[in-house]
C-alpha cells in the first residue's frame, strides 16, 4: 500500500512508496516525497507514420506536465514513457508487455494504428491496465468482429478518444457524393486493418447514396512506384480517388496521379491528415481532401494554450491530427488516478489494485477536454462523434465542413 499521509502542521503529504520516489519535492506542495506514476505511450516514433506518432507522444507529455504543474494529484508526479512501435503489430505487442511489466505504469495511451492495437489488447486486459487510443478507428476494437450485426465489447480495459471508421467512412462518402457531386469513385486501400476497413465502409456507403465505384485496388505499405495503379485509375474515368491508408503512400499516389495528367482529387481518412502529405506531394496535393476526427483544434479555445506550448517547446511531429486527443486520453488516466485516491481517503493502492480501479474510473470519465466533452459509452468509444472534412488550399489544410455522420 502506498499511503498519502496528511501532515497537519505543514499541509504537506508524505508518501511511503513501494514504487518510484522523488525526494526533490516534485509536485508535492510541501516539499515532501512524491510517488512517480508512469503513463506509457505507444506510437510509431520513427519511420512510417512517425510525424503523426510524435504528435501523440508530445500531446501526452504536455498533459502530464500540466497535471504536475497544477499538482492535480497531491503527492503524485506523472511521467511519460514513450515506446516506438514502428507501426508494426509485433513491436506493439512487445511494447505492451514492457509497459504492463513495469510496476510504475498505471495506464497507456496509444497506439496510432488499429492493426497494432489488435496485437496489444489481450496484453493490457490480462494486466487489468487501461489503454486509451487517441487514433484507432476500426470498429472491431471496441464492438467485436460482428459489430455490424451484434455489438459486443471484447475488452473492458480498452477505450478511445477518436470516433470510428463507420462514422468517418460514411461522412466521407456523403461529402464526396452530395458535397463534391462526384459520381464515379475509384477505391484503393493499403491492405492494413485501418485502411481496408475505412475503404470498405466508404465503398458501401457511397454506393448506397447512389454513387458508382468504377474500380478497386490495393497497394502495399512501403511501395513507391504506383504506375500500374495510376493507369487503372486513368482508364476507369473516375472523378474521385478514395484512399484508405496512411499519408506515406497517399502522398506519392496523388503526385504520380497528377503527373500522369489525371486531375482528380484524392480523398482519404485521418491517416493522411498531416503536413508531411502536403510537403511531399507539393502542388499535386492542391484540392485533395481528408476526413479527421473532431473539430479543428485551432478553433477550440481550450486547445489554444496547448498549441502554443507545443510550438514553444519545439516538439517535432504533427499535433493537428491526434495531439489534442492524446492530451485528453492522458488526462482521462490522470483524472482516474485522482478519483481513486480521493475515494480511498488519500491512499494510493498497490499497483495490482490501482490498475483495475483506474479502468473503472476511466469508464466514468466526464470532463471538458481540449477536444470537447470527454466521456465513453458502454463499448469504450468516445461519445464525441464530430468529424471534419479538410481540403488542401494554397498549400494548407483548410476545414470545409464539420458535423456528424448520418448512418440512417
User: Is residue 159 domain-shared with residue 175, that is, in the same domain?
Assistant: no
- Which residue positions in the chain have pLDDT lower than 70? 1-32, 406-408
| Whether residue 59 sits in one domain with residue 104 | yes
Looking at the fold, whether 19 and 141 belong to one and the same domain comes out as: yes
For 117, residues 6+ apart whose C-beta sits below 8 A from its C-beta are 92, 111, 133, 136, 138, 141, 158
CA-wise closest residue to 72 among 80, 63, 60:
63
Q: Are 397 and 290 in contact (CB under 8 A)?
A: yes
Secondary structure class of 133 (helix, strand, coil): strand
pLDDT tens-digit readout, 270-280: 989 988 999 99
Is the same domain home to 79 and 60?
yes
Looking at residue 32, its pLDDT comes to 53
86 and 127 inside one domain: yes
One-character DSSP codes across 231-257: HHHHHHT-SEEEEES-HHHHHHHHHHH
Same-domain check for residues 169 and 268: yes
How far are the Cα atoms of 36, 58, 141, 183 from residue 79, in angstroms, in the given order?
7, 12, 27, 50
In a domain, 172, yes or no: yes
Pair type for strands 240-244 and 184-189: parallel
The answer to whether the Cα torsion of 178, 163, 264, 227 is positive or negative is: negative
The verdict on 155 and 24 lying in the same domain is yes
Q: Give pLDDT, residue 406.
A: 66
Residues 36 and 105 both lie in one domain: yes
Q: What would you report as the CA-atom Rg of the chain, rounded to the nearest whole angstrom?
A: 22
Give the pLDDT score at 64. 98
Read off the pLDDT of residues 287-306 as tens digits, 9 standing for 90 and up.
999 999 888 877 878 888 99
- What does the pLDDT read at residue 26? 33
111: cis peptide before it, omega within 30°?
A: yes
351 and 400: one domain? no
Burial class (CB in 10 A: 0-12, 13-18, 19+), 328: buried
Per-position DSSP letters for 345-375, written without gaps between them: TTEE--HHHHHHHHHHHHHT--EEETTEEE-
Residue 180 lies in a domain: yes
Do residues 242 and 347 share a domain? no
Give the integer Cα–Cα distance in Å for 381 and 131: 12
Q: Which residues constitute the domain of residue 222?
A: 165-293+387-404
Asked if residues 256 and 355 have their Cβ atoms less than 8 Å apart, the reply is: no
DSSP helix/strand/coil, 293 = strand
The closest alpha carbon to 207, from 174, 238, 179, 240, belongs to 174
Q: Is there a domain that residue 353 lies in?
A: yes
Place of cell 509497459: 99
Q: Is residue 211 domain-shared with residue 324, that is, in the same domain?
A: no
pTM for the predicted model, two decimal places:
0.82
Q: Which residues contact 274 (CB under 8 A, 6 or more apart)?
A: 51, 52, 247, 318, 320, 321
User: Is residue 147 in a domain?
Assistant: yes
pLDDT of residue 408: 53
CATH of the domain at 235: 3.40.50.2300
Residue 382 within any structural domain of the chain: no
132 and 278 both lie in a single domain: no
Query: How many domains is the chain partitioned into structurally?
Result: 2
Amino acid at each position: 500500500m502506498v499511503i498519502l499521509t496528511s501532515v497537519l502542521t505543514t499541509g504537506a503529504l508524505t508518501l511511503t512508496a513501494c514504487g518510484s520516489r522523488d525526494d526533490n519535492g516534485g509536485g508535492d506542495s510541501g516539499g515532501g516525497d512524491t510517488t512517480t506514476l508512469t503513463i506509457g505511450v505507444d506510437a510509431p516514433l520513427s519511420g512510417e507514420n512517425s510525424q503523426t506518432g510524435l504528435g501523440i507522444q508530445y500531446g501526452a507529455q504536455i498533459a502530464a506536465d500540466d497535471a504536475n504543474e497544477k499538482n492535480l494529484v497531491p503527492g503524485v508526479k506523472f511521467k511519460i514513457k514513450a515506446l516506438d512501435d514502428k507501426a508494426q503489430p509485433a513491436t506493439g505487442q512487445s511494447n505492451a508487455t514492457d509497459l504492463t511489466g513495469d510496476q510504475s505504469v498505471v495506464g497507456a495511451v496509444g497506439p496510432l494504428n488499429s492493426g497494432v492495437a489488435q496485437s496489444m489488447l489481450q496484453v493490457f486486459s490480462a494486466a487489468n491496465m487501461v489503454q486509451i487510443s487517441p487514433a484507432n478507428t476500426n470498429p472491431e476494437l471496441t464492438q467485436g468482429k460482428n459489430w455490424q450485426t451484434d455489438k459486443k465489447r471484447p475488452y473492458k480495459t480498452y477505450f478511445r478518444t477518436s470516433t470510428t471508421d463507420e462514422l468517418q467512412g460514411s461522412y466521407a462518402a456523403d461529402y464526396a457524393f452530395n458535397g463534391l457531386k462526384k459520381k464515379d469513385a475509384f477505391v484503393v486501400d493499403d491492405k492494413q486493418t485501418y485502411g481496408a476497413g475505412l475503404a470498405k465502409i466508404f465503398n458501401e456507403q457511397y454506393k448506397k447514396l447512389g454513387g458508382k465505384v468504377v474500380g478497386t485496388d490495393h497497394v502495399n505499405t512501403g511501395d513507391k512506384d504506383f504506375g500500374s495503379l495510376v493507369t487503372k485509375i486513368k482508364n476507369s474515368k473516375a472523378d474521385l480517388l478514395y484512399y484508405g491508408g496512411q499519408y506515406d503512400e497517399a502522398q506519392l499516389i496523388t503526385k504520380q496521379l497528377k503527373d500522369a495528367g489525371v486531375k482528380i482529387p484524392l480523398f482519404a481518412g485521418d491517416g493522411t491528415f498531416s503536413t508531411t502529405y502536403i510537403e511531399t506531394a507539393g502542388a499535386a496535393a492542391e484540392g485533395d481532401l481528408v476526413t479527421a476526427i473532431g473539430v479543428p483544434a485551432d478553433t477550440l479555445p481550450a486547445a489554444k494554450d496547448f498549441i502554443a506550448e507545443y510550438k514553444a517547446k519545439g516538439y517535432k511531429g504533427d499535433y493537428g491530427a491526434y495531439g489534442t486527443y492524446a492530451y485528453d486520453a492522458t488526462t482521462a488516466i490522470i483524472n482516474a488516478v485522482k478519483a481513486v485516491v480521493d475515494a480511498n481517503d488519500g491512499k494510493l493502492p498497490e499497483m495490482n489494485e490501482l490498475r483495475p480501479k483506474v479502468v473503472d474510473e476511466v469508464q466514468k470519465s466526464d470532463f471538458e477536454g481540449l477536444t470537447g466533452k470527454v466521456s465513453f459509452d458502454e463499448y469504450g468509444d468516445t461519445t464525441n462523434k464530430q468529424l471534419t472534412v479538410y481540403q488542401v488550399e494554397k498549400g494548407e489544410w483548410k476545414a470545409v465542413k464539420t458535423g456528424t455522420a448520418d448512418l440512417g
